[in-house]
Structure 1
Amino acid sequence: MTPTHRSLAAAGLTLAVLGTLTACSAASTTTAHGTLGPSATSSPAHWAYDGTDDPAHWASVSDDYRTCAAGKAQSPIDLPALGHDAPLDLDVEKGEVTETTADNGHTVQLTAGSGETTVIDGTAYHLQQMHFHAPSEHTVEGKRYPVELHFVHADAKGHLAVVAVFAEAGAHDAAFDPYIAGAADGETSARGHVVDVAAMLPTNRAYWAYDGSLTTPPCTEGVHWVVLATPIELGQDQIDALTAVHHDNDRPTQPLDGRTVRSSTE
Protein backbone atom coordinates (compact mmCIF):
# COMPACT_ATOMS: atom_id res chain seq x y z
CA MET A 1 0.00 0.00 0.00
CA THR A 2 0.99 3.64 -0.29
CA PRO A 3 0.15 5.37 3.00
CA THR A 4 -1.25 8.88 3.09
CA HIS A 5 -1.92 11.29 5.92
CA ARG A 6 -4.71 12.41 8.14
CA SER A 7 -5.91 12.10 11.66
CA LEU A 8 -4.39 11.87 15.12
CA ALA A 9 -4.68 13.80 18.38
CA ALA A 10 -2.43 13.94 21.39
CA ALA A 11 -2.66 15.31 24.89
CA GLY A 12 -0.69 18.41 25.88
CA LEU A 13 2.98 18.00 26.69
CA THR A 14 5.19 19.77 29.18
CA LEU A 15 8.71 19.09 27.98
CA ALA A 16 10.67 22.14 26.82
CA VAL A 17 12.80 22.02 23.71
CA LEU A 18 15.89 24.16 23.41
CA GLY A 19 17.77 24.51 20.16
CA THR A 20 17.65 22.17 17.20
CA LEU A 21 16.60 18.59 17.84
CA THR A 22 18.99 15.85 16.83
CA ALA A 23 18.30 12.13 16.57
CA CYS A 24 19.10 9.41 19.05
CA SER A 25 22.42 10.79 20.20
CA ALA A 26 23.53 12.20 23.51
CA ALA A 27 26.40 13.87 21.71
CA SER A 28 24.68 17.23 21.43
CA THR A 29 22.69 19.64 23.53
CA THR A 30 19.42 18.04 22.49
CA THR A 31 18.76 14.35 22.07
CA ALA A 32 16.54 11.86 20.32
CA HIS A 33 13.17 13.43 20.94
CA GLY A 34 14.33 16.90 21.78
CA THR A 35 15.06 16.80 25.48
CA LEU A 36 17.97 18.76 26.84
CA GLY A 37 20.94 16.44 27.21
CA PRO A 38 24.54 16.87 28.32
CA SER A 39 26.07 20.29 27.89
CA ALA A 40 27.61 21.10 24.55
CA THR A 41 30.77 22.06 26.42
CA SER A 42 31.20 18.59 27.93
CA SER A 43 31.95 15.26 26.29
CA PRO A 44 28.87 13.05 26.69
CA ALA A 45 29.42 9.54 27.95
CA HIS A 46 29.43 6.79 25.35
CA TRP A 47 26.41 4.50 25.27
CA ALA A 48 25.54 1.61 23.02
CA TYR A 49 23.01 -1.09 22.28
CA ASP A 50 25.39 -3.96 23.05
CA GLY A 51 28.46 -4.71 25.13
CA THR A 52 29.24 -3.14 28.48
CA ASP A 53 27.43 0.11 27.58
CA ASP A 54 24.16 -1.56 26.56
CA PRO A 55 20.69 -0.45 27.79
CA ALA A 56 20.98 -2.47 31.00
CA HIS A 57 24.04 -0.37 31.92
CA TRP A 58 23.05 3.09 30.65
CA ALA A 59 22.38 4.41 34.15
CA SER A 60 25.89 3.46 35.30
CA VAL A 61 27.61 4.98 32.26
CA SER A 62 27.05 8.55 33.51
CA ASP A 63 25.24 10.43 36.25
CA ASP A 64 23.42 12.22 33.43
CA TYR A 65 21.78 8.89 32.57
CA ARG A 66 20.50 7.90 36.02
CA THR A 67 16.89 8.35 34.94
CA CYS A 68 17.32 5.37 32.61
CA ALA A 69 17.11 3.18 35.75
CA ALA A 70 15.42 5.42 38.32
CA GLY A 71 12.63 6.78 36.13
CA LYS A 72 9.05 5.60 36.60
CA ALA A 73 7.70 6.68 33.21
CA GLN A 74 10.14 5.12 30.78
CA SER A 75 9.74 4.18 27.11
CA PRO A 76 9.23 2.04 25.15
CA ILE A 77 6.47 -0.17 26.59
CA ASP A 78 4.47 -3.24 25.62
CA LEU A 79 1.14 -1.96 24.29
CA PRO A 80 -2.18 -3.64 25.18
CA ALA A 81 -5.12 -4.50 22.97
CA LEU A 82 -6.81 -1.43 21.52
CA GLY A 83 -9.55 0.20 23.59
CA HIS A 84 -12.39 2.62 22.91
CA ASP A 85 -11.14 6.06 23.93
CA ALA A 86 -11.75 9.25 21.97
CA PRO A 87 -10.58 9.26 18.36
CA LEU A 88 -7.50 11.17 17.28
CA ASP A 89 -7.35 14.13 14.91
CA LEU A 90 -4.22 14.86 12.88
CA ASP A 91 -3.77 16.96 9.77
CA VAL A 92 -0.51 17.44 7.90
CA GLU A 93 -0.91 20.87 6.32
CA LYS A 94 2.09 20.63 4.02
CA GLY A 95 3.64 17.30 3.20
CA GLU A 96 6.53 17.96 0.81
CA VAL A 97 9.48 19.61 2.52
CA THR A 98 13.24 19.74 2.13
CA GLU A 99 15.11 17.57 4.62
CA THR A 100 18.64 16.42 5.31
CA THR A 101 19.64 12.88 6.23
CA ALA A 102 22.75 11.76 8.11
CA ASP A 103 23.94 8.73 10.08
CA ASN A 104 24.67 9.71 13.69
CA GLY A 105 26.08 6.36 14.76
CA HIS A 106 22.92 5.07 16.45
CA THR A 107 20.36 5.55 13.69
CA VAL A 108 19.82 7.52 10.48
CA GLN A 109 18.23 10.87 11.20
CA LEU A 110 16.09 12.88 8.83
CA THR A 111 16.27 16.50 10.00
CA ALA A 112 13.33 18.59 8.88
CA GLY A 113 13.58 21.83 7.00
CA SER A 114 10.94 24.55 7.22
CA GLY A 115 7.43 24.32 5.90
CA GLU A 116 5.86 21.19 7.39
CA THR A 117 3.11 21.70 9.96
CA THR A 118 1.12 18.97 11.66
CA VAL A 119 -1.98 20.07 13.55
CA ILE A 120 -2.65 17.78 16.50
CA ASP A 121 -5.78 18.38 18.53
CA GLY A 122 -5.89 21.97 17.33
CA THR A 123 -2.24 22.72 18.13
CA ALA A 124 0.29 23.28 15.36
CA TYR A 125 3.43 21.18 15.66
CA HIS A 126 6.46 21.27 13.41
CA LEU A 127 8.40 18.16 12.50
CA GLN A 128 11.90 18.35 13.97
CA GLN A 129 13.30 15.01 12.87
CA MET A 130 12.55 11.39 12.08
CA HIS A 131 14.64 8.28 12.71
CA PHE A 132 14.23 4.51 12.84
CA HIS A 133 14.78 1.56 15.13
CA ALA A 134 15.04 -2.06 13.98
CA PRO A 135 13.33 -4.05 15.29
CA SER A 136 10.56 -1.95 16.80
CA GLU A 137 11.02 -0.59 20.31
CA HIS A 138 7.34 -0.71 21.27
CA THR A 139 5.67 -4.10 21.19
CA VAL A 140 1.98 -4.92 20.81
CA GLU A 141 0.93 -7.66 23.21
CA GLY A 142 4.46 -8.96 22.87
CA LYS A 143 4.64 -8.66 19.08
CA ARG A 144 7.59 -6.78 17.61
CA TYR A 145 7.65 -5.25 14.11
CA PRO A 146 10.70 -5.20 11.83
CA VAL A 147 11.01 -1.39 11.95
CA GLU A 148 9.66 1.49 14.02
CA LEU A 149 9.84 5.09 12.81
CA HIS A 150 9.74 8.05 15.20
CA PHE A 151 8.44 11.39 13.90
CA VAL A 152 9.42 14.00 16.47
CA HIS A 153 7.35 17.20 16.58
CA ALA A 154 7.43 20.33 18.74
CA ASP A 155 4.97 23.18 19.10
CA ALA A 156 5.85 26.87 19.49
CA LYS A 157 6.19 26.45 23.27
CA GLY A 158 8.49 23.47 23.00
CA HIS A 159 5.89 20.85 23.85
CA LEU A 160 6.73 17.55 22.19
CA ALA A 161 4.56 15.10 20.29
CA VAL A 162 6.30 11.97 19.05
CA VAL A 163 4.38 9.94 16.50
CA ALA A 164 5.58 6.34 16.21
CA VAL A 165 4.81 4.28 13.11
CA PHE A 166 5.43 0.56 12.70
CA ALA A 167 6.62 -0.85 9.38
CA GLU A 168 6.31 -4.40 8.09
CA ALA A 169 7.34 -6.11 4.87
CA GLY A 170 4.97 -5.64 1.95
CA ALA A 171 4.63 -3.35 -1.03
CA HIS A 172 7.43 -0.95 -1.93
CA ASP A 173 6.67 2.54 -0.61
CA ALA A 174 8.13 5.26 -2.83
CA ALA A 175 7.50 7.92 -0.17
CA PHE A 176 10.43 6.49 1.80
CA ASP A 177 12.86 6.24 -1.12
CA PRO A 178 14.66 9.56 -0.44
CA TYR A 179 15.16 8.71 3.24
CA ILE A 180 16.29 5.15 2.55
CA ALA A 181 18.64 6.35 -0.18
CA GLY A 182 20.21 8.69 2.36
CA ALA A 183 20.51 5.84 4.84
CA ALA A 184 22.14 3.59 2.27
CA ASP A 185 24.71 6.29 1.47
CA GLY A 186 26.23 5.77 4.90
CA GLU A 187 27.10 9.44 5.10
CA THR A 188 27.65 11.14 8.44
CA SER A 189 27.32 14.54 6.78
CA ALA A 190 23.92 15.85 5.79
CA ARG A 191 22.44 14.81 2.45
CA GLY A 192 19.65 17.07 1.17
CA HIS A 193 16.44 15.77 -0.38
CA VAL A 194 12.68 16.32 -0.51
CA VAL A 195 10.20 14.02 1.22
CA ASP A 196 6.41 13.96 1.47
CA VAL A 197 5.78 13.64 5.20
CA ALA A 198 2.04 13.17 4.72
CA ALA A 199 2.60 10.15 2.51
CA MET A 200 4.78 8.47 5.13
CA LEU A 201 1.93 8.04 7.63
CA PRO A 202 -0.86 5.42 7.59
CA THR A 203 -4.45 6.46 6.85
CA ASN A 204 -5.95 4.45 9.70
CA ARG A 205 -6.50 6.43 12.91
CA ALA A 206 -6.21 3.61 15.44
CA TYR A 207 -3.69 4.57 18.14
CA TRP A 208 -2.17 4.22 21.57
CA ALA A 209 -1.17 7.31 23.56
CA TYR A 210 0.76 7.53 26.82
CA ASP A 211 3.32 9.66 28.63
CA GLY A 212 6.85 8.30 28.62
CA SER A 213 10.46 9.17 28.01
CA LEU A 214 13.27 9.29 25.54
CA THR A 215 14.25 5.79 24.47
CA THR A 216 17.94 6.74 24.52
CA PRO A 217 20.14 8.34 27.19
CA PRO A 218 19.50 10.48 29.15
CA CYS A 219 16.04 8.79 29.13
CA THR A 220 14.39 12.06 30.16
CA GLU A 221 10.71 11.74 31.04
CA GLY A 222 7.82 13.99 30.01
CA VAL A 223 7.61 12.84 26.39
CA HIS A 224 4.11 12.21 25.09
CA TRP A 225 3.88 9.25 22.75
CA VAL A 226 1.29 8.53 20.09
CA VAL A 227 1.80 5.14 18.47
CA LEU A 228 -0.25 4.47 15.34
CA ALA A 229 -1.65 0.96 15.41
CA THR A 230 -1.78 0.28 11.68
CA PRO A 231 1.68 -0.46 10.27
CA ILE A 232 2.81 0.93 6.97
CA GLU A 233 4.34 -1.38 4.40
CA LEU A 234 7.90 -1.15 3.13
CA GLY A 235 9.39 -3.39 0.48
CA GLN A 236 11.66 -6.07 1.87
CA ASP A 237 14.49 -4.42 -0.05
CA GLN A 238 13.74 -1.16 1.76
CA ILE A 239 13.77 -2.84 5.15
CA ASP A 240 17.00 -4.63 4.25
CA ALA A 241 18.59 -1.31 3.26
CA LEU A 242 17.79 0.15 6.68
CA THR A 243 18.86 -2.86 8.71
CA ALA A 244 22.08 -3.13 6.74
CA VAL A 245 23.02 0.25 8.24
CA HIS A 246 21.66 -0.22 11.78
CA HIS A 247 20.00 -3.19 13.42
CA ASP A 248 19.24 -4.18 17.00
CA ASN A 249 19.19 -0.47 17.87
CA ASP A 250 16.14 -0.92 20.09
CA ARG A 251 15.76 -0.38 23.82
CA PRO A 252 13.88 -3.20 25.62
CA THR A 253 10.35 -2.45 26.82
CA GLN A 254 10.06 -0.82 30.24
CA PRO A 255 7.60 -1.32 33.14
CA LEU A 256 4.32 0.56 32.86
CA ASP A 257 4.50 1.53 36.54
CA GLY A 258 0.81 2.38 36.82
CA ARG A 259 0.60 4.66 33.80
CA THR A 260 -2.57 4.88 31.73
CA VAL A 261 -2.44 3.97 28.05
CA ARG A 262 -5.25 5.51 26.02
CA SER A 263 -6.21 3.80 22.79
CA SER A 264 -8.94 3.42 20.24
CA THR A 265 -9.71 1.80 16.92
CA GLU A 266 -10.35 4.14 13.99
Structure 2
Amino acid sequence: MKLALNLALAVAALISTSFVAADQTSTHHAGHKRAAPGAHWTYGQDNAGPQHWGALDPLYGTCGTGKEQSPIDVAIGAPFVALQKKPFSALNYSPLRNVLCGYDSHTVKCEWNSTVTAPNKNSIVIKDKTYNLLQFHFHSPSEHRVNNHFADAELHLVHQAEDKSLAVVGVLLEVQANSNPFFEWVVKLDKKVDQLEHGHGFLVKDPVSGEPVPGEEQVKYKIDKVDFSPLLKATGKFTPRWEYEGSLTTPPCTEGVAWNVVRTSVGLGLKQFDALVDLESYNSRFIQDRPTKEGN
Protein backbone atom coordinates (compact mmCIF):
# COMPACT_ATOMS: atom_id res chain seq x y z
CA MET A 1 0.00 0.00 0.00
CA LYS A 2 2.70 2.50 1.00
CA LEU A 3 4.71 1.68 -2.14
CA ALA A 4 1.67 2.50 -4.26
CA LEU A 5 1.12 5.76 -2.38
CA ASN A 6 4.74 6.79 -2.76
CA LEU A 7 4.62 5.95 -6.48
CA ALA A 8 1.52 8.09 -6.87
CA LEU A 9 3.25 10.97 -5.13
CA ALA A 10 6.29 10.62 -7.38
CA VAL A 11 4.07 10.80 -10.46
CA ALA A 12 2.28 13.81 -8.99
CA ALA A 13 5.63 15.55 -8.70
CA LEU A 14 6.00 15.52 -12.48
CA ILE A 15 2.67 17.23 -13.09
CA SER A 16 2.38 19.42 -10.02
CA THR A 17 1.95 23.15 -10.62
CA SER A 18 0.90 26.06 -8.44
CA PHE A 19 -0.42 29.39 -9.63
CA VAL A 20 0.13 31.93 -6.89
CA ALA A 21 2.79 34.54 -6.16
CA ALA A 22 4.89 34.19 -3.03
CA ASP A 23 5.53 36.92 -0.48
CA GLN A 24 8.85 38.25 0.76
CA THR A 25 7.96 37.75 4.43
CA SER A 26 4.65 35.95 4.17
CA THR A 27 5.11 32.48 2.72
CA HIS A 28 3.03 29.63 4.09
CA HIS A 29 5.66 29.27 6.83
CA ALA A 30 5.12 32.82 8.04
CA GLY A 31 2.02 34.72 9.10
CA HIS A 32 -0.97 35.52 6.92
CA LYS A 33 -0.34 39.25 6.56
CA ARG A 34 0.73 39.89 2.97
CA ALA A 35 3.87 41.73 1.88
CA ALA A 36 4.95 42.75 -1.62
CA PRO A 37 4.48 39.75 -3.95
CA GLY A 38 7.48 37.94 -5.38
CA ALA A 39 7.81 35.80 -8.47
CA HIS A 40 5.52 32.88 -9.25
CA TRP A 41 6.94 29.55 -8.02
CA THR A 42 5.85 25.92 -8.07
CA TYR A 43 6.74 22.47 -6.78
CA GLY A 44 6.86 21.03 -10.29
CA GLN A 45 9.61 20.13 -12.76
CA ASP A 46 9.04 23.35 -14.71
CA ASN A 47 11.20 26.48 -14.78
CA ALA A 48 9.55 27.74 -11.58
CA GLY A 49 10.22 24.54 -9.63
CA PRO A 50 12.43 24.15 -6.54
CA GLN A 51 15.68 23.75 -8.48
CA HIS A 52 15.11 27.22 -10.00
CA TRP A 53 13.73 29.13 -7.00
CA GLY A 54 16.97 30.99 -6.31
CA ALA A 55 17.02 32.47 -9.83
CA LEU A 56 13.35 33.43 -10.08
CA ASP A 57 13.53 36.65 -8.07
CA PRO A 58 16.22 38.61 -6.17
CA LEU A 59 14.04 38.09 -3.09
CA TYR A 60 14.57 34.35 -3.43
CA GLY A 61 18.35 34.40 -3.81
CA THR A 62 18.91 32.57 -0.51
CA CYS A 63 17.11 29.54 -1.96
CA GLY A 64 20.14 29.04 -4.19
CA THR A 65 23.01 30.48 -2.13
CA GLY A 66 22.02 29.74 1.47
CA LYS A 67 24.29 27.59 3.64
CA GLU A 68 21.68 26.49 6.20
CA GLN A 69 18.77 25.45 4.01
CA SER A 70 15.91 23.12 4.90
CA PRO A 71 14.67 20.41 4.74
CA ILE A 72 17.41 17.93 5.61
CA ASP A 73 17.93 14.29 6.50
CA VAL A 74 18.01 14.70 10.26
CA ALA A 75 19.86 11.51 11.10
CA ILE A 76 22.72 10.98 8.64
CA GLY A 77 26.09 12.74 9.11
CA ALA A 78 24.57 15.91 10.48
CA PRO A 79 26.82 17.45 13.17
CA PHE A 80 24.53 20.48 13.30
CA VAL A 81 21.55 18.38 14.48
CA ALA A 82 20.97 17.64 18.17
CA LEU A 83 18.53 15.07 19.53
CA GLN A 84 16.74 16.89 22.33
CA LYS A 85 15.30 14.53 24.95
CA LYS A 86 14.05 17.22 27.30
CA PRO A 87 10.64 18.90 26.85
CA PHE A 88 10.41 22.53 25.82
CA SER A 89 11.13 24.72 28.84
CA ALA A 90 7.52 25.88 28.48
CA LEU A 91 4.70 24.72 26.21
CA ASN A 92 1.15 26.06 26.09
CA TYR A 93 -1.20 24.46 23.57
CA SER A 94 -4.77 25.27 24.56
CA PRO A 95 -7.70 24.44 22.25
CA LEU A 96 -8.26 26.94 19.44
CA ARG A 97 -11.70 28.19 18.45
CA ASN A 98 -13.09 29.06 15.01
CA VAL A 99 -10.12 27.86 12.99
CA LEU A 100 -10.32 28.31 9.20
CA CYS A 101 -8.64 25.74 6.96
CA GLY A 102 -8.19 25.78 3.21
CA TYR A 103 -5.80 25.25 0.32
CA ASP A 104 -3.77 28.39 -0.47
CA SER A 105 -2.40 27.17 -3.83
CA HIS A 106 0.70 25.72 -2.20
CA THR A 107 -0.45 23.89 0.92
CA VAL A 108 -3.42 22.97 3.08
CA LYS A 109 -3.21 25.53 5.88
CA CYS A 110 -5.15 26.41 9.02
CA GLU A 111 -5.28 29.94 10.44
CA TRP A 112 -7.30 31.88 12.97
CA ASN A 113 -7.96 35.44 14.06
CA SER A 114 -5.32 36.73 16.46
CA THR A 115 -5.08 40.39 17.37
CA VAL A 116 -3.34 42.55 19.94
CA THR A 117 -6.51 42.62 22.03
CA ALA A 118 -7.21 38.88 21.57
CA PRO A 119 -3.84 37.18 21.04
CA ASN A 120 -3.32 33.48 20.57
CA LYS A 121 -1.71 32.21 23.78
CA ASN A 122 -0.40 28.96 22.31
CA SER A 123 3.39 29.00 22.46
CA ILE A 124 6.67 27.21 22.98
CA VAL A 125 9.78 28.53 24.74
CA ILE A 126 13.26 27.86 23.31
CA LYS A 127 16.35 29.26 25.04
CA ASP A 128 14.22 31.71 27.06
CA LYS A 129 12.52 33.05 23.92
CA THR A 130 8.75 32.67 23.52
CA TYR A 131 7.39 31.75 20.10
CA ASN A 132 3.63 32.07 19.54
CA LEU A 133 1.77 29.65 17.27
CA LEU A 134 0.80 31.38 14.01
CA GLN A 135 -0.63 28.62 11.84
CA PHE A 136 -0.15 25.02 10.79
CA HIS A 137 0.06 23.43 7.36
CA PHE A 138 1.07 20.23 5.54
CA HIS A 139 3.50 18.79 3.03
CA SER A 140 3.02 15.53 1.17
CA PRO A 141 5.23 13.56 1.26
CA SER A 142 7.30 14.72 4.24
CA GLU A 143 10.02 17.26 3.59
CA HIS A 144 12.38 16.01 6.29
CA ARG A 145 13.81 12.52 6.10
CA VAL A 146 15.07 10.15 8.78
CA ASN A 147 17.90 7.84 7.71
CA ASN A 148 17.04 8.74 4.12
CA HIS A 149 13.41 7.65 4.49
CA PHE A 150 10.55 10.11 4.11
CA ALA A 151 7.15 9.83 5.78
CA ASP A 152 3.84 9.95 3.94
CA ALA A 153 3.25 13.57 5.02
CA GLU A 154 4.49 16.21 7.44
CA LEU A 155 2.67 18.68 9.66
CA HIS A 156 4.37 22.04 10.29
CA LEU A 157 3.34 24.06 13.34
CA VAL A 158 4.72 27.55 12.73
CA HIS A 159 5.60 29.88 15.62
CA GLN A 160 6.89 33.45 15.69
CA ALA A 161 8.60 35.48 18.42
CA GLU A 162 8.21 39.21 19.03
CA ASP A 163 11.41 39.86 17.05
CA LYS A 164 9.79 38.05 14.07
CA SER A 165 12.14 35.07 14.28
CA LEU A 166 10.50 31.73 13.54
CA ALA A 167 10.41 28.29 15.17
CA VAL A 168 8.73 25.36 13.43
CA VAL A 169 7.70 22.03 14.93
CA GLY A 170 7.64 19.31 12.28
CA VAL A 171 5.55 16.19 12.91
CA LEU A 172 5.99 13.23 10.54
CA LEU A 173 2.74 11.54 9.49
CA GLU A 174 2.39 7.88 8.46
CA VAL A 175 -0.67 6.33 6.82
CA GLN A 176 -2.64 3.91 8.97
CA ALA A 177 -5.88 1.97 8.55
CA ASN A 178 -7.91 3.92 11.10
CA SER A 179 -8.68 7.62 10.85
CA ASN A 180 -7.14 10.05 13.30
CA PRO A 181 -9.81 12.36 14.82
CA PHE A 182 -7.34 15.27 14.79
CA PHE A 183 -7.25 15.23 10.96
CA GLU A 184 -10.88 14.41 10.14
CA TRP A 185 -11.54 17.96 8.94
CA VAL A 186 -9.22 17.32 5.96
CA VAL A 187 -11.77 14.90 4.49
CA LYS A 188 -14.58 17.40 5.05
CA LEU A 189 -12.57 20.18 3.39
CA ASP A 190 -11.89 17.97 0.36
CA LYS A 191 -15.60 17.19 -0.02
CA LYS A 192 -16.47 20.88 0.25
CA VAL A 193 -13.95 21.78 -2.45
CA ASP A 194 -15.28 19.06 -4.76
CA GLN A 195 -18.76 20.57 -4.53
CA LEU A 196 -17.62 23.88 -6.01
CA GLU A 197 -17.24 24.69 -9.68
CA HIS A 198 -14.44 27.23 -9.29
CA GLY A 199 -11.02 27.11 -7.60
CA HIS A 200 -10.27 26.67 -3.95
CA GLY A 201 -8.11 28.40 -1.37
CA PHE A 202 -8.13 31.24 1.12
CA LEU A 203 -7.93 33.59 -1.86
CA VAL A 204 -8.46 32.68 -5.51
CA LYS A 205 -5.63 34.55 -7.22
CA ASP A 206 -4.73 35.51 -10.76
CA PRO A 207 -1.98 33.12 -11.94
CA VAL A 208 0.09 35.97 -13.41
CA SER A 209 -0.30 38.90 -11.02
CA GLY A 210 -0.91 36.86 -7.89
CA GLU A 211 -3.65 39.30 -6.88
CA PRO A 212 -7.09 38.17 -5.64
CA VAL A 213 -9.72 37.90 -8.37
CA PRO A 214 -12.83 39.95 -7.46
CA GLY A 215 -15.94 37.83 -7.10
CA GLU A 216 -14.15 34.47 -7.10
CA GLU A 217 -15.38 32.17 -4.37
CA GLN A 218 -13.12 31.58 -1.40
CA VAL A 219 -13.33 28.11 0.09
CA LYS A 220 -12.63 27.52 3.77
CA TYR A 221 -13.64 24.88 6.24
CA LYS A 222 -14.42 26.11 9.72
CA ILE A 223 -13.36 24.02 12.70
CA ASP A 224 -15.23 25.11 15.80
CA LYS A 225 -12.55 23.71 18.08
CA VAL A 226 -9.03 22.35 17.51
CA ASP A 227 -7.93 20.30 20.49
CA PHE A 228 -4.18 19.66 20.35
CA SER A 229 -4.14 17.27 23.33
CA PRO A 230 -4.26 14.06 21.20
CA LEU A 231 -1.33 15.33 19.14
CA LEU A 232 0.67 16.25 22.23
CA LYS A 233 -0.07 12.87 23.81
CA ALA A 234 0.95 10.94 20.69
CA THR A 235 4.27 12.82 20.41
CA GLY A 236 5.18 13.08 24.09
CA LYS A 237 4.66 16.85 23.91
CA PHE A 238 6.98 16.99 20.89
CA THR A 239 9.73 15.13 22.75
CA PRO A 240 12.21 13.75 21.84
CA ARG A 241 12.91 15.84 18.75
CA TRP A 242 15.76 16.77 16.44
CA GLU A 243 16.79 20.42 16.78
CA TYR A 244 18.75 22.38 14.19
CA GLU A 245 18.94 25.85 12.68
CA GLY A 246 17.62 25.95 9.15
CA SER A 247 15.42 27.91 6.81
CA LEU A 248 11.95 28.30 5.38
CA THR A 249 11.32 25.47 2.94
CA THR A 250 9.54 27.83 0.54
CA PRO A 251 10.65 31.09 -1.13
CA PRO A 252 12.27 33.30 0.08
CA CYS A 253 14.00 30.43 1.98
CA THR A 254 14.97 32.79 4.82
CA GLU A 255 17.49 31.25 7.23
CA GLY A 256 17.63 31.42 11.01
CA VAL A 257 14.56 29.22 11.57
CA ALA A 258 14.65 27.10 14.74
CA TRP A 259 13.58 23.66 13.53
CA ASN A 260 12.22 20.95 15.85
CA VAL A 261 11.46 17.69 14.03
CA VAL A 262 9.64 15.28 16.34
CA ARG A 263 11.10 11.76 16.39
CA THR A 264 7.77 9.97 17.00
CA SER A 265 5.54 9.88 13.93
CA VAL A 266 1.75 10.21 14.11
CA GLY A 267 -0.85 8.10 12.30
CA LEU A 268 -2.96 9.57 9.51
CA GLY A 269 -5.97 7.65 8.19
CA LEU A 270 -5.85 6.45 4.59
CA LYS A 271 -8.97 8.43 3.64
CA GLN A 272 -7.52 11.48 5.36
CA PHE A 273 -4.23 11.10 3.51
CA ASP A 274 -6.03 10.64 0.18
CA ALA A 275 -8.00 13.84 0.85
CA LEU A 276 -4.81 15.73 1.73
CA VAL A 277 -3.05 14.64 -1.47
CA ASP A 278 -6.18 15.42 -3.50
CA LEU A 279 -6.12 18.97 -2.12
CA GLU A 280 -2.41 19.82 -2.31
CA SER A 281 -0.85 17.12 -4.51
CA TYR A 282 2.97 16.96 -4.29
CA ASN A 283 4.32 19.95 -2.34
CA SER A 284 7.68 19.08 -0.83
CA ARG A 285 11.08 20.68 -1.37
CA PHE A 286 13.91 18.23 -1.98
CA ILE A 287 16.56 17.53 0.67
CA GLN A 288 19.20 20.25 0.97
CA ASP A 289 22.94 19.58 1.21
CA ARG A 290 24.50 21.30 4.19
CA PRO A 291 28.24 22.08 4.53
CA THR A 292 29.91 20.59 7.59
CA LYS A 293 31.61 22.69 10.24
CA GLU A 294 34.89 22.12 8.42
CA GLY A 295 33.37 23.72 5.33
CA ASN A 296 33.14 20.53 3.27
Name the TM tier (shorter chain): 0.7 to 0.9
Range with bigger deviation, 156-165 or 130-139: 156-165
- The answer on 1:240 being equivalent to 2:274 is yes
Corresponding residue for residue 26 of structure 2: 30
138-147 or 82-91, larger mean C-alpha shift: 82-91
Q: Which moved more, 1:192-201 or 1:167-176?
A: 192-201
- Kept in 2, the 8 Å contact 1:35–1:220? The answer is no
Aligned to 2:50: 55
Letter in 2 for 1:48: T
Query: In 1, are the aligned partners of 2:108 and 2:137 still within 8 Å (CA)?
Result: yes
Pick from 235, 247, 253 the counterpart of residue 213 of structure 1: 247
**Structure 1 counterpart of 2:235:** 203
Rounded Cα–Cα distance in structure 2 between residues aligned with 1:164 and 1:173: 17
Q: Which has the larger radius of gyration?
A: 2
- Work out the CA distance in 1 between the residues paired with 2:83 and 2:279: 38
**AA at the equivalent of 1:56:** Q
1: distance between equivalents of 2:292 and 2:33?
A: 26
- What corresponds to 1:192 in structure 2? 222
What is the aligned-residue RMSD (CA, Å)? 2.8
CA distance in 1, matches of 2:167, 2:21: 18
Question: Retained in 2: the 8 A contact 1:138–1:253?
Answer: yes
1:218-243 C-alpha deviation (Å, 9 max, x unpaired): 11111110000101101111111101
Match of 2:87 in 1: 88
Contact 2:83–2:242, Cα closer than 8 Å, also in 1: no
Structure 1: runs of 5 or more not aligned: 1-23, 260-266
Give the corresponding residue for 1:72: 67
- In the alignment, structure 2 segments of 5+ residues that lack a partner are 1-19, 115-119, 194-199, 202-217
Cα offset, 1:92, TM superposition:
2.9
Alignment CA distance shift 1:84-1:130 (3 Å): closer
Q: Is the CA contact (8 Å cut-off) linking 1:92 and 1:198 kept in structure 2? A: no
TM-score of the two chains, using structure 2 as the length reference: 0.71
Cα distance, 1:93 vs structure 2: 4.0
Over residues 35-71 of structure 1, what are the superposed CA-to-partner deviations in whole Å (9 max), with x where a residue is unaligned? 899942xx42111111121111111211211111100
Cα drift, residue 117 of structure 1: 1.2
User: Partner residue of 1:164?
Assistant: 170
Matched, 1:102 2:102: yes
**In the alignment, which residue of structure 1 is the partner of 2:284?**
250
Range with greater deviation from structure 2 (30-39 or 76-85): 30-39
Using structure 1 for the length normalisation, give the TM-score: 0.78
Cα distance in 2 between the residues matched to 1:182 and 1:126: 26
- Decide which moves more: 153-162 or 132-141: 153-162
Give the 4+ runs in structure 1 shifted more than 6 A. 35-38
Are 2:123 and 1:118 equivalent residues in the alignment?
Answer: yes
Aligned CA distance change for structure 1 residues 229 and 221 (closer, same or farther; 3 Å): same
Q: Conserved in 1, the CA contact under 8 Å of 2:82 and 2:243?
A: no
